Chain A
Amino acid sequence: MWNYSEKVFDHFMNPRNVGEIENPDGVGEVGSMACGDALRLSFKLDDQARIAECRFQTFGCGSAIASSSVLTEMVKGKTLEEAARITNEDIADALDGLPREKMHCSVMGREALEAAMIDYYKRLGKGVPCDLLHRETILCHCLQVSKDTVRQAILDHRLQEIEDVTHYTKAGGGCTDCHHDIADMLRDCWDQIERGEAPPPKGLVELTELSPATPAPATEEDPRAARIRELLEEDIAPALRNDGGDIEFVRMQGDSVFVRLTGACAACRASDATIKGYVESRLHEFVDEKLEVIEVNS
């Protein structure tokens, strides 16, 4: 029997804010029935841009339901910037603590909140604040290993066990709370591999760059390219580097700007939001409204 606090029992037995919000401003979904944990979180802002209402639906154990419930109360009245500062430890603290094995339930709450906020920024076509992306991309908080690093290692080396992931990336070598997430990622990656949708393992096939069959002649460069390069190198890349990510200019073709996201940004769930929301809006603001940013797979 878990040693749950009174608060966990209270929020489990009397869950607050269950359900879905009609016409929400943001919706976040994390987990799946296969993982044994899933959470759908939706929120609505008031005219002061503060969270007026937040509701949840959870598939999971008692502490997952309690974590979701307490989170919907914690975010109420907060701006998104304030809400983004809520950590999974804050969620656990609000419940007077969770058993160590159940800390991932609070992490799931935190992730659903992030996903809902990212969804909000995407709906608006706004840039996603970097501190959001930061937490989004870190899988192992003890050793600061990103989700992308873990995913890449699994796919590159066809890793099968959590132990292997720890050996390759150090992820999971600390408090072991993220073993659940590593197991989920192993399952995801192997599903992808078994469906034949994964890139070949490293060292077997040359990586091919996403490009038209014949590269554009490298004659006259678009006059906007220099400005784009400058903006990427001096403004955008440093911001992403703060979060363990990076961005490279690949080429221009018409109004299309091809870039490559690397480090923690590559293949992360929020990379689409990074490209569309953040990078593109910067280029629109400082270079040209017509530009479209396209991510090139590395």
Chain B
Amino acid sequence: MSAQSRKFNLTDGLPDKPEKGIYFDNNATTQVAPEVAEKVIPMLRSNFGNPSSMHGFGAAAGAEVAAARDKVAALVGAAAAGEIVFTSGGSESDNLAIVGALHAQPDKRHVVTTQVEHPAVLGLCRELEKRHGHEVTYLGVDKSGALDLDELRAAVRDDTAIVSIMMANNETGVIFDSNAIGKIVKSKGALFHVDAVQAAGKLPLDVKKSPIDLLSISGHKLHAPKGVGALYVRRGTKLRPLITGGHQERGRRAGTENTPGIAGLGVACDLAAEGLDHENTVVRALRDRLQDGLLQAIPDVHLNGDRERRLPNTCNLSFQYIEGEGILLLLDRVGVAASSGSACTSGSLEPSHVLRAMGLPFTLTHGSIRFSLSRYNTQDEVDYVVQVLPPIIERLRMITPFNAERATF
């Protein structure tokens, strides 16, 4: 029995790190698209003006911001470019939507969200409860990660200011039906905010035809640089600014515009709109090839989240009896980047709140690995991972005291 061996090497026989790393962590961040970089660099080198200035430098920069606003509006399906507010990223967009809506409706103190939101929303909601006396209802999910719409219907009250529910989950890729949710929320007279940070570029967006008042996107999740994002604000939606000062963004977000980032985001949104089909055909096929390959090659693996209602690029698998960090370290050693919901990788004590909310046992949460692909991944890369991961899992399982017969001491 191999567990009896006194010395062995976890990396024996594994290939050396390839020169170019294989990046399967696109839900964490993405590489900047070359076309985006082409747009950003001249904004740093020469087109550096302040859009508010009354001269040619300002006008040139302002024209880029305006063009980018049109492109973002087109990606999300806004009725007018004026409905787009540029921010510093997804977290700020989420904060502006929720806090801005609460401040604009001081008589309404209740918020509805879910247990599986991104920390940008969850952390804010906890803060609102703790420090500001707001009441927050956190909706649960079932084993497949789905919401119960009846629970939502019962949760929205007369004093509910805003309902904030993501379009797709960053960890599992599970999709929530924003149209069905929005109909319920609007019928109760509350505002509806959608965190579409993971959905943008992967799912079609059309806010003008959807019951959505506010929608957040982030630049660096769709091949734009970090530090830029946007909030769609439906015309007529009352919102107080978070950052006050100058008149930028029609008084909804003060501060001189991040012109290189914004111009880059514009190009990235164009590419995302063009690439939507590719994402749902080619990238989806790669994801399925990876997922099926791993499920077939490795015993005791569990696919997390609904198999169908899922982002085309995301695959979250739990490997029983072992812990995620070791898997990531060994994957990194052979040049593959992924992420894990294990507690150890985050520095926190608790494993993924998303997998926990889905009722996944601890035995599965600690060994979860998320692969998230992008249009830059190839079939060779997928096949490489399907080849290298089985021996990695097998070796870590030689070290663990747990197995099918012994799951506890």
Contact = CB atoms under 8 A, between A and B. Distances in A.
Interface string A55-83: 10111111011000000000000000000
A62 B326 contact: yes
A207 interface: no
B7 interface: yes
A14 interface: yes
Contact of B3 (A12, A19, A32, A65): A19
Nearest to A105: B344
A110 interface: no
B347 interface: yes
B96 to A, nearest CB: 30
Contacts of A18: 3, 5-8, 398-399
Contacts of B176: none
A15 B8 contact: yes
Nearest to A4: B329
A17 B8 CA distance: 9
Interface residues of B, number: 37
Interface stretch (B76-84, B260-268, B298-306, B401-409): B401-409
Interface centre among B8, B9, B330, B349 (most CB of A within 10 A): B349
A40 B406 CA distance: 12
A33 interface: yes
A36 B401 contact: no
B3 A20 contact: yes
A236 interface: no
A134 B327 CA distance: 36
Contact of A33 (B11, B330, B366): B366
B325 A62 contact: yes
B398 to A, nearest CB: 7
Given A59-B321, A61-B342, A13 B363 contact: no
A16 interface: yes
Contact of B7 (A17, A33, A37, A64): A17
B239 interface: no
Interface string A179-198: 11001000000000000000
A101 interface: yes
Interface string B368-409: 000000000000000000000000000000111110000111
A232 interface: no
A148 interface: no
A180 B408 CA distance: 19
B280 interface: no
Contacts of B342: 36, 61
B362 A60 contact: no
Nearest to A60: B323
Given A19-B5, A60-B344, A38 B10 contact: no
A62 B11 CA distance: 14
B345 interface: yes
A62 B329 contact: yes
A37 B400 CA distance: 10
| Residues of A in contact with B, size category | 35 or more
B302 to A, nearest CB: 14
Contacts of B399: 15, 18, 57-58, 65
B400 A59 contact: yes
A17 B342 CA distance: 25
Interface in B237-279: none
A65 B328 CA distance: 14
A269 to B, nearest CB: 12
A34 interface: yes
Contact of A61 (B3, B10, B323): B323
A29 interface: yes
B378 to A, nearest CB: 25
Contacts of A9: 329
Given A14-B10, A57-B3, A38 B329 contact: no
23 contacts: A12-B10, A13-B9, A13-B10, A14-B10, A15-B8, A17-B6, A17-B7, A18-B8, A32-B408, A33-B408, A34-B362, A36-B343, A36-B344, A36-B351, A39-B401, A40-B401, A58-B401, A59-B321, A59-B322, A59-B400, A61-B323, A62-B329, A65-B326
Interface of A: 9, 12-20, 29, 31-40, 55, 57-62, 64-65, 101-102, 179-180, 183
CB-CB nearest 6 A-B residue pairs: A61-B344, A61-B325, A57-B401, A34-B362, A40-B401, A29-B409
Given A38-B402, A61-B324, 8 more contacts: A14-B7, A14-B9, A15-B7, A18-B398, A36-B342, A58-B400, A61-B342, A62-B326
Interface of B: 3-11, 321-326, 329-330, 333, 342-345, 347, 349-351, 362-363, 366, 398-402, 407-409
